[in-house]
Amino acid sequence: MTDHLSPETIAATHGIAIDTAYGAVAPPLYLTSTYAYEAFERPRQYGYGRGGNANRDLLGEALAKLEGGAGATITASGMAAIDLLLGRLSPDDHLVVPHDCYGGTLRLANGRASRRQFRLTIVDQGDPAALADALKDGASLVFVETPSNPLMRVVDIAAIAAAGHAAGAKVVVDNTFLSPALQNPIALGADYVLHSSTKYINGHSDIIAGALIAANAEDAAADRVWANTAGLTGAPFDAWLTLRGLRTLFARIERQQSTASAIAERLEAHPGIAAVHYPGLASHPQHDLAARQQKGFGAMMSIEIAGGADGVRAFLSKVAHFTLAESLGGVESLVSHPATMTHASMSIEARTRAGITDGLLRLSIGLEHPDDLLAGLERGLAG
Ligand code: PLP
């Protein structure tokens, strides 16, 4: 009989004490590109490292359990996880993506669509009429990102999944911003969940990695075959590190979001800030939806600095305890300027349509003491 385990327990213990050679408590790292056959015509469980590796499998099993999926494919990056789906679309397929997701996702979707690899519609998924219009002639894949990067807009996963399925599409949710600790899209009807595990799942800003989790076993098996075919799988050491990071995911994110919530409230009342986008604030337009759909509000927010680009320049020259860098979800706090960093590959029109202004800054709240972070932000705002 297998006990039902809480997600916290799965994250902390999946793969612990399974080593049969020496009884190592931490899972051994299998650095090998290939595997010896037992004898002629007698391969073992794994044949070649691109197709199979025990460290990737352990991590994939843990993530599939945490997301409530049938299986997972561990990829070399979050983008590789996205392309594991996009790269298999054909010219008569129709992909629907949100207008305000991660800039790299839009760059990939546009790049493949401009090569006529599929038909692409970019739509405000928070507008049910616009989404219905995008889906009216059918779709193959609906890509959802919620909360969105960087504006923290929240969309209704269950409603979009139902609309996508009615249009004949599979639905994938990029769950990078919340992690399986705070949101489980498969339980809300999604067919796939994907992660840039570079972010919260690994949590230590020391690798690039991704994962695609499928709700059903057939899709999960097909994902693994294609990841091997196209060479999208991740490195064993990265999978080992990611599983180590996953051990503390729940503890990290709980603390990070409690600090984020305190910071969002303080910043909202600050005269130097024109707007705070954080789903935990009662003023957030989708606060109720976030409270219903998520298990927590997370540790990401974006803020609109009064004074636009000049205000941003002054703030960044003085802010302390926030490193100016892309990425998010690590133990250290980061600040980024989407218009010139993460979303610079979008056209000015697309950025304007998405609401990404020159005064917008994205904050990833880490594990520092809240008082230090608040003092660091105050220094920036005094600037
Ligand atoms: N999805 C989201 C929401 C992201 O923020 C990112 C990267 O910032 C990605 C996907 C891409 O992931 P990676 O950088 O691991 O390729």
What is the pLDDT, as a whole number, of residue 295? 98
- Whether 118 has a pLDDT exceeding 90, the answer reads yes
Interior angle at CA 11, CA 8 and CA 15, nearest 5:
135
Judged by average pLDDT, the poorest of 38-52, 140-154, 214-228, 346-360 is 346-360
Number of residues that this document lists for the chain: 383
Mean pLDDT of 133-161: 97
Cβ-contact 327, 209 below 8 angstroms:
no
Work out the burial of residue 20: count CB atoms within 10 Å of its CB; fewer than 13 is exposed, 13-18 middle, 19 or more buried.
exposed
Mean pLDDT of 15-41: 97
Q: How far is the CA of 194 from the centre of ligand 1 (A)?
A: 10
What is the pLDDT, as a whole number, of residue 350? 83
Which amino acid residue places its CA nearest to atom 15 of ligand 1? 78
Q: Is 149 in the pocket of ligand 1 (CB under 6 A)?
A: yes
- Whether 383 has a pLDDT exceeding 90, the answer reads no
Work out the burial of residue 364: count CB atoms within 10 Å of its CB; fewer than 13 is exposed, 13-18 middle, 19 or more buried.
buried
Domains along the sequence of the chain with CATH: 7-246 (3.40.640.10), 249-382 (3.90.1150.10)
* Mean pLDDT taken over the chain: 96
Mean pLDDT of 364-379: 98
Which amino acid residue places its CA nearest to atom 8 of ligand 1? 327
CB atoms within 10 A of CB 106: 23
What is the pLDDT, as a whole number, of residue 3? 74
Which amino acid residue places its CA nearest to atom 5 of ligand 1? 102
Which amino acid residue places its CA nearest to atom 11 of ligand 1? 78
Write the DSSP symbol of residue 32: -
Which amino acid residue places its CA nearest to atom 4 of ligand 1? 102
Q: How far is the CA of 40 from the centre of ligand 1 (A)?
A: 43
User: Measuring CA to CA, which residue among 181, 161, 180, 163 is closest to residue 171?
Assistant: 161
3-state secondary structure of 163: helix
Contacts of 199 (CB under 8 A, 6+ apart): 78, 176, 177, 179, 327, 328, 329, 330
Cα(256)–Cα(182) distance, integer angstroms = 12
pLDDT tens column, 171-189 = 999 999 999 999 999 999 9
Q: Give the pLDDT band (50/70/90) at residue 345.
A: confident
- Whether 241 has a pLDDT exceeding 60, the answer reads yes
Mean pLDDT of 144-151: 95
Q: Give the pLDDT band (50/70/90) at residue 353.
A: confident
Pocket test for ligand 1, best of 196, 201, 206 (most atoms within 8 A of CB): 196
Mean pLDDT of 7-35: 98
Which amino acid would we find at residue 49? G
Q: Give the pLDDT band (50/70/90) at residue 230.
A: very high
pLDDT tens column, 76-94 = 999 999 999 999 999 999 9
3-state secondary structure 173-186: EECCCCCCCCCCHH
| Helices 103-114, 78-86: inter-axial angle, 10-degree rounding | 30
What is the pLDDT, as a whole number, of residue 2? 62
Nearest ligand 1 atom to alpha carbon 80: 16
- Catalytic positions are 50, 102, 174, 199
What is the pLDDT, as a whole number, of residue 348? 87
What is the pLDDT, as a whole number, of residue 264? 98
Pocket test for ligand 1, best of 198, 341, 364 (most atoms within 8 A of CB): 198
Q: What percent of the chain has pLDDT over 70?
A: 99
Q: How far is the CA of 210 from the centre of ligand 1 (A)?
A: 8
Nearest ligand 1 atom to alpha carbon 101: 3
Q: Give the pLDDT band (50/70/90) at residue 20.
A: very high
What is the pLDDT, as a whole number, of residue 289? 98
Its pTM stands at 0.97
